[in-house]
Structure 1
Amino acid sequence: MAPDRDPRERTPAGATATPRPRTRLDQPLPRRRRLLPEWDPEAFGRFSERIARFLGTGRFLVWMTAVVAVWVVWNVAAPRDLRFDQYPFIFLTLILSLQASYAAPLILLAQNRQDDRDRVNLEQDRKQNERSIADTEYLTREIAALRVGLGEVATRDWIRSELQDLVKELEERHGDGRVVFPAEHARGRDVDDR
Structure 2
Amino acid sequence: MIVHPDPPRAAYQEAHRRYHTQAHIDDCLARLAAVDGLGDRERDLLVQAIWWHDAVYDPLRPDNEARSADLAREALAAAEAPEADIAEVERLILLTKGHTVEAGDRLGALMVSIDLSILGAAPEAYAAYAQAIREEYAAVPEEIYRAGRARVLESFLAAPVLFPDPAFAKALDAQALRNLAAEIAELTRA
Which one has the bigger helix percentage? 2
Give the TM-score normalised by structure 2.
0.22
Give the TM-score normalised by structure 1.
0.22
Choose between structure 1 and 2 for higher RCO, CA contacts under 8 A separated by at least 6 residues: 2
Query: Which structure has the larger Rg?
Result: 1
